[in-house]
Structure 1
Amino acid sequence: MTTQMDRRVAELLHHRRAGLAKGDPVTLPLTPSTTFHLPDVQGAPYIYGRNGTPTWSAVEAQLALLEDAEVVSFPSGMGAISAALMATLRAGDKVVLPSDGYYVTRVFARDFLAGLGVQVTEIATRAYAQADFTGCAVVYLETPSNPGLDLIDIADVVARARSVGAKVIVDNTTMTPLLQRPLDLGADLVVAADTKAPGGHSDALFGHVAGRDAALMARVRDWRRLSGAVPGAMEAWLVHRGLETLDVRLSRMCASAEVIAARLAQHEAVQAIRYPGLATDPAHDLAKRQMTGFGFLIGITLKDATVAEGFLERCAFMTRATSFGSTHSSGERRARWGDAVPEGFLRLSIGVEPVEALWSEIAAALG
């Protein structure tokens, strides 16, 4: 039976079909122009490159199909995150952020939002379950958290935030709309770094904000236009191409991650492991209810920093990089960035390599 998401993915692949005339290119043309022919302004679909371009429109149409919501694209995930926060906060407001989430979001809040009169409160992801959101204007969460992979019940947080008049923003970068749907669970806005799995090839910085409140999304769109935080045409074109294979890449990555996580959980060199797909993971039951897949990220703790760095050095099929979600597997010791994790903690991002070849290298590097 065809699922709703299957239908969305198929529509994504054919979303330009209705607008094609005889002889038009089937693949999206790259339109780098920043200026457009304007004998008059009224009715012009494009005016100036800071307002919109045909290439942005195409990738936003794809993402809108997946999110089932309006989408505004940005030149990076942080571009999307900062836009969502700037569109929803004013001086005197209070925002709650995850203390164990993506650290650059916290830096932005501390160094810029706080300076503009916004009260910033940080709590651990699991603490959201008991948090009192009274007085908050925005509750911002990231689930699974990056890099610790803790989960929180989005629908529960939304219900409690709404009861005190707060808006909810969810960073859905690690899951994508194929594996988790925060807007369906009541979130006001979703932010994501499409640099990761949607682009999928480590060659384009990109991000987006999605939402179903027209007035709120108009503020997000105005922030992009007025701040000038606009994506490039080449990056938009690359992400458009990447999105066409997202479904098949995610299927391979998640299936491989489940196999590898189960084996890592039994390996004597691994002192601790976090992967929501493991029945022993503390977030497993929530993951089964809230997500349609367990993702491709695995957190493991080795003995210490030296052992962890040695593993990455020896593993031929594990790129040492600070991003994730690409076709190639990658790993990083996150404590080097100041994350509150053990010195030997590694975030592994499983790619599309044949799983047995990948596991053979991982096992040998651990060995």
Structure 2
Amino acid sequence: MTDTYGTDGPSTRCVKAASAQAIPGQPVAAFPITASAYHLSADETAELDTYGRGSNPTWRQLESALAQLEGATAALVFGSGMAAITAALRALTAPGATLVVPADGYYQVRAYATEYLARQGVNVVQAASGEMIDAAGHADVVLAETPANPSLDVVDLHRLGMACRARNARLIVDNTAATPLGQQPLSLGADLVVASATKALSGHSDLLCGYVAGSHPEVVDAIARERLLSGPVLGAFDAWLVLRSLGSAGLRFERQCENAGALAAMLDSHPAVAGVRYPGLPGDPAYPVATAQMRRFGGLVSAELADAAATHEFVERSELLVASTSFGGIHTSVDRRARWGDDVKAGFVRISAGIEDTDDLVADVERALHGL
């Protein structure tokens, strides 16, 4: 694949993106944590910041870092990943438009599209990852999630981007699972990237944050206006926390990917496990596309145990696994997705690899699976 990441490695990119401006005599990590109100001057056109819901320096530092990592000219931060996605969809859809959303991706996106946007006159079409390219031929806006959560199927973004351009449709790509360290959707034909920085980029399971990144000024401006009017903003302290975490994201993500690959290989040959999916497994159906467009395959693995009881016993037997529905943190977590209404078997689990030592994690999971 063409290298769109430049000459720097992932950790170097993260450190550069998260670094404060080098000013002699000032702290190395001099990020401001700003308030909601600002002193105003007599020149009413002079202020960049007037009220914290519109803009503030902490946001701008984080937005600059995220844009740099995604290969975008601009980024906008939000109070959660869903806030970012829904703001982008409100800004880009209108009554009579056709919107394609993932049928095998995050369930709340489908719920928002069918329960809210459809009532506003938007024609909502659900398409699985393998159906996205065909569905784009009849769409005005396409939202793809790749790898999809929790199916972990992969969409060919280059082909999907060409299909969208042929129709002048906008392509939005949810890059949460891959992160900008594993995949660059804008270089593959996407108009916008949306993501939850709650997950691997912040990586400590202690905050909520989402963002939109892109290089079309009119689109970014429309979403910024939507954010200003509807108010799904990110707190300045949470922005500061993401910035603090971003510098180590490359190291954490590298270990998460290493652990996920090792777990996937072990699970794929274990008699108590079926239906293992990981884009980095050579036998995975998504492997050919994933190797063409991804630099790293992410920290998520999906698998099937016998039933719901087996998944609970699996976690209880482990010393390292945590039952949690979020992902991307330093702890390896397990989520039984059927409990949230996903169309999966009762024993289907999504495993989010943490940053434990790989040998320790694999051995712990093998012990927990023994006899299930």
Q: TM-score, normalised by structure 1?
A: 0.95
Partner of 2:177: 174
One-letter amino acid matched to 1:91 = P
Go from structure 1 to structure 2 and tell me whether the alpha carbon gap of 1:216 and 1:307 turns closer, same or farther (over 3 Å shift).
same
Q: Is the 8 A contact 2:101 2:110 kept in 1?
A: yes
CA shift for structure 1 position 25: 2.2
One-letter amino acid matched to 2:128 = A
What 5-or-longer segments of structure 2 have no aligned partner?
none
Q: Is the 8 A contact 1:41 1:47 kept in 2?
A: no
Q: Deviations over 1:2-21 (max 9, x none)?
A: 96162685365245878444
Within 1, Cα distance between the matches of 2:108 and 2:323?
20
Partner of 1:84: 88
Q: Is the 8 A contact 1:270 1:302 kept in 2?
A: yes
Does residue 117 of structure 1 match 2:121?
yes
One-letter amino acid matched to 1:60 = E
Partner of 1:262: 265
Q: Is the 8 A contact 1:322 1:332 kept in 2?
A: yes
Does residue 97 of structure 1 match 2:97?
no
Q: Deviations over 1:95-134 (max 9, x none)?
A: 0111111001111111110111111111111112433522
Partner of 2:318: 315
User: SS of the residue aligned with 1:131?
Assistant: helix
Does residue 340 of structure 1 match 2:343?
yes
Within 1, Cα distance between the matches of 2:227 and 2:5?
34
Does residue 38 of structure 1 match 2:33?
no
Within 2, Cα distance between the matches of 1:350 and 1:7?
21
One-letter amino acid matched to 2:278 = Y
Go from structure 1 to structure 2 and tell me whether the alpha carbon gap of 1:12 and 1:261 turns closer, same or farther (over 3 Å shift).
closer
Q: Deviations over 1:148-196 (max 9, x none)?
A: 1011101111111211121111111001111011100111111000000
Partner of 2:357: 354
Q: Is the 8 A contact 2:200 2:328 kept in 1?
A: yes
Q: Is the 8 A contact 1:311 1:365 kept in 2?
A: yes
Instruction: Select 1:217's aligned residue among 197, 217, 220.
Output: 220
Identity percentage over the alignment? 43
Q: Is the 8 A contact 1:179 1:291 kept in 2?
A: yes
What 5-or-longer segments of structure 1 have no aligned partner?
none
Partner of 1:107: 111
Q: Is the 8 A contact 2:19 2:29 kept in 1?
A: no
Go from structure 1 to structure 2 and tell me whether the alpha carbon gap of 1:68 and 1:9 turns closer, same or farther (over 3 Å shift).
farther
One-letter amino acid matched to 2:116 = F
Within 2, Cα distance between the matches of 1:216 and 1:317?
44
Partner of 1:133: 137
Go from structure 1 to structure 2 and tell me whether the alpha carbon gap of 1:322 and 1:158 turns closer, same or farther (over 3 Å shift).
same
CA shift for structure 1 position 60: 0.8
User: SS of the residue aligned with 1:184?
Assistant: helix
One-letter amino acid matched to 2:8 = D
Does residue 208 of structure 1 match 2:203?
no
Go from structure 1 to structure 2 and tell me whether the alpha carbon gap of 1:306 and 1:7 turns closer, same or farther (over 3 Å shift).
closer
Partner of 1:10: 12
User: SS of the residue aligned with 1:183?
Assistant: helix
Q: Is the 8 A contact 1:5 1:66 kept in 2?
A: no
Within 2, Cα distance between the matches of 1:198 and 1:16?
11
Go from structure 1 to structure 2 and tell me whether the alpha carbon gap of 1:15 and 1:366 turns closer, same or farther (over 3 Å shift).
closer
For structure 1, which segment, 8-17 or 323-332, has the greater mean C-alpha deviation from structure 2 after superposition? 8-17
Within 2, Cα distance between the matches of 1:35 and 1:159?
45
One-letter amino acid matched to 1:66 = L
Matches within 5 A, 1:294-333: 294-333=297-336
Q: Deviations over 1:20-69 (max 9, x none)?
A: 44432221334241111212333323111011111111111111111121
Go from structure 1 to structure 2 and tell me whether the alpha carbon gap of 1:132 and 1:257 turns closer, same or farther (over 3 Å shift).
closer
Within 2, Cα distance between the matches of 1:165 and 1:222?
23
Within 2, Cα distance between the matches of 1:146 and 1:8?
23
Q: Is the 8 A contact 2:133 2:160 kept in 1?
A: yes
Partner of 2:29: 27
One-letter amino acid matched to 1:23 = G
